């Protein structure tokens, strides 16, 4: 079922072209009640706002197959950005989805500290308060690094991780974000009263209409005022930008998350280049990478391909119900046959050329296909099944190549 074509909730359904499509989930909005003065170690946590998207009916009585999913948004985002995809996943998987507002975003409180350790502690405190056990954590961009931080910091709390277009490495944040902050301040200083005025100012630094709409979704008109203001604390986030490209763990292999991890990359994005995959494998030895057609905002750009990415025909599928970690993809390309189980380690990978045909059970979403991995930047749908050299015994490593 295609999601993302209907984006506006109407009477329990989703509107598309003026019609209603029934949605097999119920949605409840809550606010965490934990005190902002509570601490975990030396880090003060804040209560997190969230929406709960519950399935109409669980698909199984097995707790491992019905454990909740926590969905963490990116910088300048909020839980509402993930509303449609959360409802679809709740319906498809029969699992409850908690779409969370991270600190300094959405309806969650503002706090001067904004870094990945603090965000991870907030999510851990949220799980404890709501008695959430063994969840899958999906995070996009900033949310991906927060999810990875929590998984490495408290691996016993997390079942598995889906990191969308970010990697556990220090990186230079795009200069676009600093431009956004400057023009967000400019919008507030101009005391605009309409979205049209605000959009004209943001268009000075961002030509993409969807991205401008995403950023301006943070605007609201406070009670008793005429001028629009941003819900996010611009000054706090502006100061935090210098560290948003960082990752708190600096020594790959010293800490590990020994459970499954799926990394989803946008084919037009540069956030997760092939060069960082060996580092990913040191932190997350049982990781996979799937490329989906789109840019950094891959969830909103290509939601159907994103939804199917965790359901590709691999036994190590994360979100689809549990299966062993050994995975295999077999494809043919003319005279070249590759039986792929382990394609990339911290050592030299075995080269395989792209397959000419998809397995019959492969996803058919736009831009999604199954290809054997290469060292070069992959085409949409490429699946990397990897482990660090320390853990190669955990996966079958047979790679066969027949060359005429």
32 given a catalytic annotation: no
* CA 357-366-387 angle, 5° bins: 65
CA-to-CA dists, residue 269 to 209, 236, 297, 298, angstroms: 18, 26, 9, 9
Angle at 152 between CA 150 and CA 156, to 5 degrees: 80
The active-site residue, picked from 44, 141, 300, 388, is: 141
**Catalytic member of 73, 105, 140, 296:** 296
d(CA 315, CA 18) in angstroms, rounded, equals 40
The verdict on whether 73 is a catalytic residue reads: no
In sequence order, the β-bridge partners of residue 269 are none
The answer to whether the beta carbons of residues 86 and 122 sit under 8 Å apart is no
Nearest CA among 119, 78, 129, 76 for reference residue 101: 78
- The closest of 133, 118, 135, 163 to 284, measured between CA atoms, is 163
H helices of 100-141, where? 116-129
Report d(CA 93, CA 71) in Å as an integer.
14
Q: Which residues contact 181 (CB under 8 A, 6 or more apart)?
A: 234, 237, 238, 241
**9 bridge partner residues:** 14
Helix (H) or strand (E) holding 31: strand 25-31
199 in Cβ contact with 249 (< 8 Å): no
To which residue do tokens 């600190």 refer? 103
Residue with tokens 């490429």: 382
Residues with active-site annotation: 141, 296
């Amino acid at each position: 079922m295609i999601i993302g074509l209907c984006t506006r909730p109407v009477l329990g359904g989703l509107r598309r072209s003026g019609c209603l499509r029934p949605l097999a989930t119920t949605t409840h909005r809550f606010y965490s009640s934990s005190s902002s003065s509570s601490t975990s170690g030396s880090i003060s946590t804040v209560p997190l706002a969230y929406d709960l998207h519950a399935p109409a009916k669980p698909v199984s009585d097995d707790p491992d197959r019905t454990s909740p999913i926590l969905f963490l948004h990116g910088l300048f985002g909020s839980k509402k950005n993930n509303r449609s995809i959360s409802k679809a996943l709740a319906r498809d998987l029969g699992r409850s989805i908690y779409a969370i507002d991270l600190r300094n975003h959405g309806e969650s409180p503002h706090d001067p500290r904004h870094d990945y350790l603090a965000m991870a502690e907030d999510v851990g405190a949220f799980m404890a308060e709501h008695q959430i056990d063994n969840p899958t954590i999906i995070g996009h961009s900033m949310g991906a690094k927060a999810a990875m931080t929590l998984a490495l910091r408290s691996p016993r709390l997390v079942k598995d991780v889906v990191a969308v277009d970010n990697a556990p490495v220090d990186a230079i944040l795009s200069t676009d974000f600093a431009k956004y902050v400057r023009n967000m301040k400019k919008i507030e200083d101009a005391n605009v009263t309409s979205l049209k005025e605000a959009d004209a100012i943001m268009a000075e630094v961002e030509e993409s209409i969807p991205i401008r709409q995403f950023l301006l979704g943070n605007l609201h008109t406070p009670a008793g005022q005429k001028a629009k203001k941003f819900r996010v604390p611009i000054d706090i986030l502006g100061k935090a930008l210098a560290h948003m490209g960082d990752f708190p763990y600096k020594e790959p292999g010293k800490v590990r998350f020994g459970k499954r991890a799926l990394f989803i990359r946008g084919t037009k994005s540069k956030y997760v280049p092939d060069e960082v995959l060996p580092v990913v494998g040191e932190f997350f030895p049982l990781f996979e990478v799937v490329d989906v057609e789109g840019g950094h905002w891959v969830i909103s750009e290509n939601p159907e391909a994103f939804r199917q990415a965790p359901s590709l025909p691999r036994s190590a599928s994360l979100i689809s119900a549990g299966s062993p970690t050994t995975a295999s993809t077999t494809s043919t390309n003319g005279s070249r046959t590759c039986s792929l189980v382990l394609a990339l380690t911290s050592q030299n990978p075995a080269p395989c050329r792209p397959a000419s045909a998809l397995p019959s059970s492969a996803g058919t979403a736009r831009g999604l296909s199954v290809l054997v991995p290469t060292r070069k930047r992959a085409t949409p749908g490429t699946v990397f099944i990897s482990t660090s050299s320390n853990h190669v015994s955990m996966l079958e490593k047979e790679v066969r190549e027949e060359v005429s």
